[in-house]
A and B are shown apart, each in its own frame.
Chain A
Amino acid sequence: MRKCLALFLLLCVSLITLSGCVDPEMERQTFAICMSLDQADNGITLAIQAPKNGQVTTDGNPQNYEIISVTAVDLISALHLLSVTTPYPINYSQMRIIVFSNDVVQNESFYALLTTLESLRTMRAQATLLISVGDAQDILKKQTPDFGMRLSTHLDTLFSLLQAECILPVCTLSECIRDLRLGQIDPLITVCAVNPSLDQDSQSSSGSSDQSGGDSGGASPAMAIGEPWNSTLLPSDLQAGMLPRTGENPVEMIGAVALSGGKPAGVLTASECQLSLLAIKEATMRISMQEDTLQLQLLIPKTSLLMEDLPALESLLAKLLAMNVDALGFGEQVAMLFTTDDDFLAYDFSARYQSASVVVLPQ
């Protein structure tokens, strides 16, 4: 009897303390799906996109999502301002994308921005990072999921498909922070842009009635999602914001910004990005070190898709060297040749990388 009473008391205490009733109810929280950071005259403009509370959002109609933005001197102040001006607590656990404008990445400490965002307790570590051409908040405003899909589902599906096919780099918040911290590989971040030819607002302002984006008849078969399209390399001229296609969603994500030392060093086109990701996935890296000379060898399997266009791969490697970007992770291979951290630091790989020679060898 005494045990039953004790268990009953325990149950009562558990119901009060562990039921989660002390947390704000689901509909009284703002679940941010996307975030953008833009450079403002007097600091940073932070915006979040969240489904409207109390509304059943079964499709990706932009009217079902609200964008709230604040401007402050730095990100911490902006986050604070956002939390005190939003009536419901903001929950970042459903965050899918964080879009940085190119200006922000150029002018601010990118690593510091990322660590500040990561320090938010509810922040989703798997949120994908994007760098926008132009206004980052514009990406949030203009994105319209295809076929009326829910925004989060649209983004999840898009990234999982394109990342599996080596079209887009996998660069999440936590992974980017780790790569920048370790310094053994330079991260690639997906570029996104609004295609002006598909943007209805810009069309209506310019008086154009043409809905097609460029030469729709000449759309590459490689962009037909769902087909076995992974057996060919992307055309070399594809750029985010300028894709020859039609559709309701004007936001395009393709290509990548290459970071060096936490700052953008250059942009890789869609095909260059694909080659880099394929090289990371399929090629074997070997290092040859002789006193002051460093040779980086990339061994390509004969069955690899990379064999189709070796000159393009060689020019990509030359471009990466010129930008001082180790996107393929040769630094990781060099680190494996040293026994202690001090030896590796003393070797100063990042300083030697630019003067190293790169050789592509069919295996």
Chain B
Amino acid sequence: MKRARQVRTPVSSKSDAILARMRGDTRAYRALATILLLSQGLLFITTTGYDTAIQTVWQSALMLALPAFLLLIVWQGIRRGFDSVLGKIALISLFPNLILDASLLLGALTGLMTFQIPTISYVVCCLFISLICLMISACGRRNGVAYGASAIRYVLLFLLLLALIGLLPDAKISRLAPVLGAGLWQTATSALEGMGSVWSVSLLFVLPAISLAKAEKQAYLIKPFRASWCYVLLFVLLCALWGLFYALIRPWQPTATLTMGERLNALFAFNPSVMLSEASLLLWLLGLPLGLSATLTVGEKLMHHCFDHLPRAFCLLPVLLPALILTLIFQENLLSALSPLMPYRFAVSLVSGILLLIASHQEVRS
């Protein structure tokens, strides 16, 4: 953990050191936001996208670029206003999104683990995962989760590509045909359902702004984040690639009866190599807990930013507890219960962005 936080950039003065550390922190938080974004995108394709769009699920993933870039345009304009009352209200309004994300990630991970080890009860597994993620977020250093996520970002990318390359022998171009599937409207409907998964674009901007120390924040606020579109493009391309392989493999007949564990495991069952198949499962087993810890950390940062007198460990609970309760209530039906709410995460993020934009303008004017 100590090594992960070390800054190796040579510096000549204290201000340089602050700037270098600020850059490192910012990069780590953007990596964390991208991992959150990607985990929601991949889960959307695996859980609902493929069932609706089937062989055009990759087109539906490409269509996600539209809401993602719309959010990017709105959030890119926000440089100030995070400390104003309106800004804090806007940030707090992101909590329902975090709770939904955390429930989905917790439900997915519990579903996968109970599928792999059926003798573990769903409740015990769910509580255990929550406890682990709570401890990771609570016991870590101030930017520990972000640096941890940043450190394994290439491992996750490698596992994702490994999983897909292992599936190549079974992939067939002809399974993409007819190329428009049930029609463009059906694909667009699927994309609308997945629109909520892009809400984390806002975190690319929120996390560095609320996590940096005050001295660093001034430096951050001066420099605009021009490369943000690269992160969004990476998200869209990886989601489209993931969706493309679902179309090329066609792992199951669209049906609502599949459990979460079966869905997460289904694609890898077509991997001819047992070793590659097991390695591919690591993608979920690493990515989902990391995503959940990241969600809790984001919740903690938002709470701490808005109510700075609250203890840090307490700030994790407003996201974890509702998510845990939702997961324990609905268990295997979690997906069908939360699906109608999922697209609204986009609207919440958009409204929050607009509020912050207003707050930012007010601050500039004053």
Q: Are A342 and B174 in touch, CB under 8 angstroms? A: no
* Contacts A10-B132, A10-B135, A20-B117 given; does A333 touch B272 at CB 8 Å: no
Q: A23-B117, A336-B178 are in contact. Are A125 and B270 (CB under 8 A)?
A: yes
**How far apart sit A20 and B113, CA to CA, in the bound complex (Å)?**
11
* Given contact pairs A22-B119, A336-B174, A178 touches B125 in the complex (Cβ within 8 A): no
Given A17-B120, A335-B177, A340–B183 Cβ distance below 8 Å? yes
Instruction: Collect the chain B residues with CB atoms within 8 Å of residue A147's CB.
Output: none
> Hey, what's the 0/1 contact readout for B111-130 against A, CB within 8 Å counting as 1?
00001011110001100100
* Most chain A CB within a 10 A radius of its CB, from B175, B178, B272: B178
For A175, what are the chain B residues with a Cβ–Cβ distance below 8 Å?
170, 270
Bound Cα distance from A232 to B249, whole angstroms: 33
Using Cβ atoms and an 8 Å threshold, which residues of chain A touch B155? Answer: none
Taking a contact as CB atoms closer than 8 A, the residue among B125, B250, B272 that contacts A126 in the complex is B272
Of the residues A22, A178, A338, A341, contact of B182 by C-beta under 8 Å: A341
Q: Are A336 and B183 in contact (CB under 8 A)?
A: no
0/1 per residue, B162-192, Cβ < 8 Å to A?
Answer: 0000000010101101111111000000000
Indicate the member of B125, B139, B177 with the most A CB atoms within 10 Å. B177
A7 at the interface (CB under 8 A from B): yes
In contact, A332 and B272 (Cβ under 8 angstroms): no
Partner of B128, one of A13, A329, A340: A13
The reply to whether B178 and A340 contact each other, CB–CB distance below 8 Å, is yes
Choose from B120, B131, B253 the contact partner of A181 (Cβ within 8 Å): B253
**A174-B269 contact in complex given A7-B139, A10-B135, A22-B117, C-beta closer than 8 Å:** yes
CB of A339 within 8 A of CB of B179, answer yes
Partner of B139, one of A6, A341, A343: A6
A225 located at the interface, meaning its Cβ lies under 8 Å from any Cβ of chain B in the complex: no
**Total count of chain A residues near the partner, CB < 8 A:** 32
Q: Are A17 and B178 in contact (CB under 8 A)?
A: no
Say yes or no: A340 contacts B177, CB within 8 Å: no
On whether the beta carbons of A341 and B178 are closer than 8 Å, the reply is yes
Whether a CB of chain B sits under 8 angstroms from the CB of A182 is yes
Among B181, B250, B272, point to the contact of A182 (Cβ < 8 A): B250
Question: In the complex the two chains form, is B174's CB within 8 Å of A17's CB?
Answer: no
Interface positions, chain A 124-169, Cβ under 8 Å from B, are: 125-126
Q: Which of chain A's residues 196-212 have a Cβ closer than 8 Å to chain B? A: none
Q: Is the CB of A342 within 8 A of B183?
A: yes
Question: Is A10 in contact with B131, judged by CB distance below 8 angstroms?
Answer: yes
Inter-chain contacts of A3 with B (CB < 8 A) = 139
A333 touches B174 (CB 8 A): yes
| Chain A hits for B270, CB < 8 A | 125, 174-175
- A184 beta carbon closer than 8 Å to chain B: yes
Distance in Å from the Cβ of A350 to the closest Cβ of chain B? 16
A340 touches B182 (CB 8 A): yes
Shortest CB-to-CB span from B75 to chain A, Å, is 35
A281 sits at the interface (CB 8 A): no
Question: Is there an interface contact between B135 and A335, defined as CB atoms closer than 8 Å?
Answer: no
Q: Which residue of A lies closest to B54 (CB)?
A: A341
Closest-by-CB residue of A relative to B178 is A338
Residue of A nearest to B125 (CB): A17
Q: Are B118 and A335 in contact (CB under 8 A)?
A: no
Task: Tell me, in angstroms, the Cα distance from A231 to B246 when the chains sit together.
Answer: 36
Q: A10-B135, A182-B175, A184-B174 are in contact. Are A342 and B115 (CB under 8 A)?
A: no
| A332 CB contact (under 8 Å) in B117, B132, B135, B174 | B174
Across the interface, which residues of B come within 8 angstroms of A7, CB to CB? 135, 139
A339 and B184 alpha carbons, distance in the complex (Å): 10
Taken residue by residue from 314 to 340, chain A's Cβ proximity to chain B (1 for < 8 Å, 0 otherwise) reads as: 000000000000000100110110111
CA distance A197 to B310 in the complex (A): 84
Q: Which of B119, B174, B250 contacts A23 (CB 8 A)?
A: B119
How distant is the Cα of A346 from the Cα of B9 in the complex, in angstroms?
65
Chain A contacts for B269, CB-based, 8 A: 125, 174
In the complex, residue of chain B having the shortest beta-carbon distance to the beta carbon of A24 = B119
A340 touches B118 (CB 8 A): no
Whether B178 contacts A335 by the Cβ 8 Å rule is yes
Chain A residues, CB < 8 A from B125: 17
B170 to chain A, nearest CB (A): 8
CA distance A341 to B183 in the complex (A): 8
Q: Contact: A340 with B174, CB < 8 Å? A: no
B119 proximity list for chain A (CB < 8 A): 22-23
A178 with B250: CB separation less than 8 A = yes
**Residue contact A13 to B120, C-beta cutoff 8 Å:** no
Nearest CB in chain A: distance from B328 CB, A: 16
Residue of B nearest to A119 (CB): B262
A195 smallest CB distance to B (angstroms) = 30
Q: B120 — which chain A residues lie within 8 A by C-beta?
A: 17, 22
B34 CB to closest chain A CB (Å) equals 27
Cβ-neighbour of A340 out of B131, B135, B180 (below 8 A): B180
A18 to B269, CA, bound (A): 23
Which of the residues B117, B124, B132, B174 comes within 8 Å of A335, measured between beta carbons? B174
A182 vs B55: C-alpha distance in the bound complex, in angstroms? Answer: 11
Per-position binary interface string of chain A over residues 22-42, scored 1 when its CB falls under 8 Å from any chain B CB and 0 otherwise: 110000000000000000000
* Chain B residues with CB below 8 A from A181, complex form: 253
Residues of chain B lying within 8 A (CB to CB) of residue A342? 182-183
B contact residues around A18 at 8 Å (CB): 117, 128
Give the residues in chain B near A336, CB-CB below 8 Å.
174, 177-179
In the assembly, what is the distance between CA of A7 and CA of B136, in Å?
9
Bound-state Cα–Cα, A334 to B215, Å: 65
Given A121-B118, A335-B174, A336-B177, the answer on whether A13 and B182 have CB atoms closer than 8 Å is no
Residues of A within 8 A of B115 (CB): 121
Residues on A with C-beta less than 8 A from B174 are 184, 329, 332-333, 335-336
Task: Closest A residue to B257 by CB, please name it.
Answer: A119
The 10 sampled A-B contact pairs (Cβ below 8 Å) are: A6-B135, A7-B139, A17-B124, A182-B250, A336-B178, A338-B177, A339-B179, A340-B182, A341-B181, A344-B178
Given contacts A121-B118, A340-B182, 18 further A-B contacts (CB under 8 A): A6-B139, A7-B135, A17-B124, A20-B117, A23-B117, A126-B272, A175-B170, A182-B175, A184-B174, A332-B175, A333-B174, A335-B177, A339-B178, A340-B180, A340-B181, A341-B183, A343-B178, A344-B177
Q: Which 10 A-B pairs have the closest CB atoms?
A: A332-B174, A336-B177, A125-B269, A335-B177, A338-B178, A22-B119, A339-B180, A340-B180, A3-B139, A344-B178
